[in-house]
């Protein structure tokens, strides 16, 4: 499919946009029976985020780490009714494969008792990190993050030959510290024609959103002016990959005198045939953006008619919902 002014028409509907080298390991140094380890570390600031109980065991026969999310206690209330709808996401970093527990409705002391298997060689465990993010499910908006727990050294407590029971304080966090991947694209602006071309080249190391360990990513680009979304365009969907290649051009007509008033919001999405499409990560471009998003934009303006390509890290924070523009604007 040749893509120019990319429009997927009625054949593709974004459901979310409807209205509405290791040294020798010495396990004997860590040997102990199943235990409950109390971590007295303080939560950030005065935020009480509760505690989480889980167990770890290494399966030598199948070469995998068994993680059992048991329960959480004293979670903060996130809903107006004084409760939360908690669930837990589990990662074994640096892999981005994610497991997720079921949501427990209206509970501050949920019992999960859900087990997950992470394929990993025993000798790799010292360089792996177990990361757990606790969320409050929200049916109508972005899920609120309650906090997170990360274990840097999985041999700190035991050699994991026996099931080890662990308690940890949930550390306050507002966004997941898990790497979401990167996107590479080029920008080219033609002042005389008032035309901006953003060519989505590829992404790499995207976070896995499906239970298969992959995602079905596509890229959505929104043109924003004065806080309102004027236009939205999308790439094609790439199936079962965390490193998609697109090479698809997205074109917007923007007069030169409007360039200081517009921005581009880029969202890498995971397509879901049945449920809602999920945001993998986002970034923002424009003269009022931050960091590389601003620098790339200014470089494009400084070198007109020349495609400028850069890699950009994806952020967890989603772009706020923006109303469709219905007011007169200098941007077509």
CB-based contact 68:90 (threshold 8 Å)? no
Say how far apart CA 170 and CA 148 lie, in whole Å: 5
Residue 330's CB: how many other CB atoms inside 10 A? 11
pLDDT at 29 over 90: no
> Of 294, 96, 308, which Cα lies nearest the Cα of 212?
96
User: 87 or 153, which is more confident?
Assistant: 87
| DSSP output for 102-156 | PP-TT-SS-EEEEEEEEE--GGGGGG-EEEEEEEE--SSSPPEEEEEEEES-TTS
The rounded distance, in Å, linking the Cα atoms of 82 and 196 is: 48
Query: Hey, what are 259's tokens?
Result: 């360039």
| Residues 198/186, Cβ–Cβ less than 8 Å | yes
Percent of the chain with pLDDT over 90: 49
Distance between CA 87 and CA 305 in Å, rounded? Answer: 49
Q: Measured between alpha carbons, how far is residue 287 from residues 193, 212, 231 in Å?
A: 20, 39, 19
Q: Which residues pair with 279 in a beta bridge?
A: 269
What domains are there in the chain, each with its CATH number? 30-169 (2.60.40.150), 179-313 (2.60.40.150)
CB neighbours of 45 closer than 8 A, spacing ≥ 6? Answer: 172
pLDDT at position 229: 93
For the chain, the straight-line distance linking the first and the last C-alpha, in angstroms and rounded, comes to: 26
| Joined tokens for residue 265 | 């919001």
pLDDT in tens, 105-124: 999 999 999 999 999 999 88
Average pLDDT, the chain: 80
**Which one, of 105, 68, 66, 74, lies nearest residue 87 by Cα?**
105
Confidence check: pLDDT of 279 > 60: yes
Q: What are phi and psi of 73, to 5 degrees?
A: -135, 150
User: So what's the pLDDT on residue 155?
Assistant: 78
Tokens found for residue 286: 């424009």
- Residue identified by tokens 């859900």 is 114
How far is the C-alpha of 200 from the C-alpha of 249, rounded, in Å?
A: 6
pTM: 0.49
Question: Lowest-pLDDT range, 82-96, 112-126, 171-185?
Answer: 171-185
Within 13 Å and on the Cβ side, how many CA atoms surround 176? 26
Q: Where are the alpha helices (DSSP H) in the chain?
A: 292-302
CA atoms within 13 A on the CB side of 280: 35
98 vs 190, higher pLDDT: 190
Give the pLDDT band (50/70/90) at residue 211: low
Return d(Cα 147, Cα 73) in angstroms, integer.
13
Mean pLDDT in residue range 269-295: 89
DSSP state letter for 190: E
Query: 3-class SS at 76?
Result: coil
Name the band, by pLDDT with cuts 50, 70 and 90, for residue 207: confident
């Amino acid at each position: 499919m040749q893509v120019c002014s990319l429009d997927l028409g009625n054949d593709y509907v974004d459901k979310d946009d409807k209205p509405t080298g290791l040294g020798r390991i010495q396990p004997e140094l860590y040997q102990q029976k199943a235990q409950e380890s109390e971590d007295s570390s303080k939560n950030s600031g005065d935020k009480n985020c509760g505690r989480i109980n889980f167990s770890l065991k290494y399966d030598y026969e199948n070469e995998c780490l068994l993680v059992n999310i048991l329960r959480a206690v004293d979670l903060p209330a996130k809903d107006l009714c004084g409760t939360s709808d908690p669930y837990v996401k589990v990662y074994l970093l640096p892999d981005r494969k994610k497991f997720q527990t079921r949501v427990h409705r209206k509970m501050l002391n949920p019992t999960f008792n859900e087990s997950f298997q992470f394929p990993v060689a025993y000798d790799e465990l010292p360089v792996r990190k177990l990361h757990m993010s606790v969320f409050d499910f929200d049916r109508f908006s972005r899920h609120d993050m309650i906090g997170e727990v990360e274990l840097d050294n999985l041999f700190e407590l035991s050699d994991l030959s026996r099931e080890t029971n662990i308690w940890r304080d949930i550390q306050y966090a507002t966004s997941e510290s898990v790497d979401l991947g990167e996107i590479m694209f080029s920008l080219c602006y033609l002042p005389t024609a008032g035309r901006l071309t953003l060519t989505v080249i590829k992404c790499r190391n995207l976070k896995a959103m499906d239970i298969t360990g992959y995602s079905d990513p596509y890229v959505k680009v929104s043109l924003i002016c004065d806080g309102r979304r004027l236009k939205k365009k999308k790439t094609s969907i790439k199936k079962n990959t965390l490193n998609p290649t697109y090479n698809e051009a997205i074109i917007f007509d923007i007069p030169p005198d409007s360039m200081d008033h517009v921005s581009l919001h880029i969202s890498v999405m995971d397509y879901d045939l049945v449920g809602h499409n999920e945001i993998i990560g986002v970034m923002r471009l424009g003269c009022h953006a931050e960091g590389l998003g601003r620098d790339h934009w200014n470089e494009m303006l400084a070198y007109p008619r020349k495609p400028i390509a850069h890699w950009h890290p994806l952020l967890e924070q989603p772009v706020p919902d923006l109303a469709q523009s219905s007011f007169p604007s200098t941007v077509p």
